[in-house]
Structure formats: C-alpha cells, structure tokens
Structure 1
Amino acid sequence: METMTLSVDAVPDQDRKGPGRPRSARVDEAIVEAVFELLSSGQSADAISIEAVAAKAGVGKATIYRRWPNKEALLIDAVLAMKGPLPEPRGESVREDLVTQVAAMRNKRMAQYGKVTACLMPELFKSGEMTRVYQGVVEPRREVMRGILRRGIASGELRADLDVELCLLVLSGPTLAQNMLRWNPNVPDENFAENLVDFVLQGASA
C-alpha cells in the first residue's frame, strides 16, 4: 500500500506564517530537532539536505524555506537553539557566576549536542562568512563572561594583570573538548563546572 506523505498545504495554519499570523514555535522546534537527530546519527552537515530535514520533521520543504532562506541559516539557528538561553550573572561572586556559565555549557543533552557540534564545525568554518556568523552567535556569551572577569578584577577578587581573553579560552576550551570528544574520560562529569572554575581561579585569583 502506498504511503501518503502529508504536504505542507495539508498542514493547519499553525504551520504557516501568513500576514499577521505568528509562526508556530512548535514547528520551528520540530525542524531544528530534526537537524539535531540527523547530525547526531552520523550524517555530516554537507550531506544533510532541506529535503531530509523536512521529511524528518514531518513538514514540507516550503515550511522550512518560509523560515530560513537556506541550509546555512538553519544550521546557525540550530547552534543558537543548542546553546540555549544565556544565564544571568547574579553579581554576588565571581566564582559562582563563572560556575553558572560553564554549567550552562554542560546541559543534560550534551552527549547528543557534542556529536552535533562536531558535525557542524566543518560547515561553520568552511568560509569566512560562516565563521563571521558563528562568531556572532558565540560573542554575546563571551561578553557575559568578560563582564564577570572584569568585575572580579575591579573588585580585587582577580589579579589586576589577568589576561581576560586567555582566561575565557581556558574556561571554554576544556568544556567544548569534553562535550564534543569526551577528550579525557578520566575527568568526571559530576561537578565539572565547579572543578574547572576552581582550577582556573587558582592562577587567576588575586
């Protein structure tokens, strides 16, 4: 028996974005989740097509193109969704604020997202334009952590000569390596953020 595919024209208006009609967050999430599933299953970003994403999400290609002009734009939004919202620093303790930021990079789905990030990297850095767009995605997160470190320098909690940019790299690099590659399996996931921040602060503290 022939399997019938639901076309975008058969989907209710919640999957459309007509004049004055807000687009469906549910559909957006389904499309981005389809990207995650395809990437985490081992497909490269180059190999993934809009057709494959549409089929996985259960929508028509037109539904995707109404939201994203091309695959690159969809991948960038996938990166944003993967990272999640920025935690707000409380401003009471440099250590606690740094732990909060690092812990946000180690979310419950980090195992899947690590695979997704590894597959996305070649696509994101294959051109100068894509690199610029990706840097625009992560720069607001860096700026939050810069603010925490600069506040610590001003308050005397951190060394006056602290290299802020290098400190950012030292905090984010191991997190990314563990998320993507499980680079050192001897480093436990439990209390990872606290242990990393405390280790870095041994050299950064005043």
Structure 2
Amino acid sequence: MPALEDAPRAPGRPRSVRVDEAIVSATLDLLAEGTTVDVLSIEAIASRAGVGKATIYRRWPGKEALLHDALATLKLPGPELAGESVRDDLIALLSQVGPTGHDPRFPKILPCILPHLSRSPEHYQAYQDIIEPRRNRVRQVLRRGVANGELRADLDIELTMAVLIGPILMQRVVRWHPDLDADKMPEQVVDLLMAGIAPH
C-alpha cells in the first residue's frame, strides 16, 4: 500500500483529515477482523493505514486515545426528537441502541470490546464517555415526561433507563433470544414499560 503520510505543510496549517480518517478506519478494520484490544498495536494500525508510526503519535499520545476516538465514530449523533410524546421520543432513541447498521463493522467490534471493559478501568471510562451523551438524552426525555405529567412523579430515572436499554442491547449484541426481532423491540419495550411508568 502506498504511504499516506502528511504532505509538507506550512506552520499552523491544519493536519490532514484524510490521514486521520485512514488511521481511524485502519483501527476499526483490525478490530472487526478479530484483532483483540490487547494485541492491537500502533505498528499494525500504521501498516494498515499506510502511514508511519510517528504520524499516529503526532495525533494521539498512544493506542488508548486512538481507540477511544475510533470507537466514538461508531456512534450516531442521535435522532432529532419531536418533543411531543415521551413514547415516540423513547422509541426513536432506543432504535439506535447497540450495533444498528451505521457502520457494518460495529456488530463485529462491539462484542469483542465489551469483555475488555471489565479488565481495563481506562477503557471502561472511555466507553462511559462515549455513551453518556446518548444516555443523557434518554434521561432528559424521562425527566420531561415526569415534569409534564406523562410519567409518574416518583419515577426512578436511572433504573428506568437501564430497563429500557438493557433488553435491546442484549438482543443486538449477543442475540439473547433467537425469536425476538431487535428492530421491533424499541417500540415493544417502550409500550410494555409505559404501563408501569405512566401515572396511576
């Protein structure tokens, strides 16, 4: 593969986005092909991306930081919410939980990195940093529902989020139940739980 190094640039000129993308894509490709997080190396990433190791180190201080940024690209920015119905907004948000087809590598990568999170506090925190903005959107919808009376005033927001997201994540990551359709589950789970979280 021909080298994809940075072209000479004047002082202050922004770094090459094309090179950044090649490095991130190489990282995700290697993970999707089965390279474990432990085995993944800057050398292998550089070789796949067609750059030198120094090019990567000018952008990221090490593998951990690069891995964090690469995994962050797998998450969609999130759907636009109408803000008119808690039910509809929750369904829209839950439809993007887990590997949802934004990047075909995601379904292959996520099951491989989840076990590693329990062994690495740094990667666990990186994972939390990635998912917290999405989790916060669910939190905001639930709080709005409590405030406007769509949901119970005594609702446990954090537990409700776990109950909403957990089944869909399990189905999409490990296909926990072969007879359940993960694409239908956001609506099914929300409707099942609304009876319990709506005002009595």
Change (3 A) 1:202 1:30: farther
Q: What stretches of structure 2 of length at least 5 have no aligned partner?
A: none
Aligned partner letter, 2:185: F
Q: Partner residue of 1:156? A: 149
Seq. identity, %: 48
2:131 aligned counterpart, secondary structure? helix
Q: CA RMSD of the aligned region, Å? A: 2.3
CA–CA separation in structure 1 for the residues paired with 2:177 and 2:100: 18
Cα deviation per residue 1:169-200 (whole Å; 9 max; x = unaligned)? 11221222223212222111333322222222
CA–CA separation in structure 2 for the residues paired with 1:111 and 1:182: 17
The yes-or-no answer on 1:71 pairing with 2:63 is yes
Change (3 A) 1:173 1:60: same
- 1:85-104 superposed matches below 5 A: 85-104=77-96
Q: Partner residue of 2:40? A: 48
Which of 6, 13, 23 is 2:2 aligned to?
6
1:87 aligned counterpart, secondary structure? coil
CA–CA separation in structure 2 for the residues paired with 1:22 and 1:90: 37
Q: Provide the TM-score with structure 1 as the length reference.
A: 0.83
Q: What stretches of structure 1 of length at least 5 have no aligned partner?
A: none
CA–CA separation in structure 1 for the residues paired with 2:186 and 2:9: 41
- 1:164-179 superposed matches below 5 A: 164-179=157-172
Q: How many residues align?
A: 198
Cα deviation per residue 1:110-146 (whole Å; 9 max; x = unaligned)? 7631331222234434333433333222222211111
Moved over 4 A (4+): none
More divergent stretch after superposition (127-136 vs 54-63): 127-136
Contact 2:95/2:183 (CA < 8 Å) preserved in 1? Answer: no
Q: Partner residue of 2:176? A: 183
Aligned partner letter, 2:162: L
Q: Provide the TM-score with structure 2 as the length reference.
A: 0.86
Aligned partner letter, 2:108: K
Higher helix share: 1
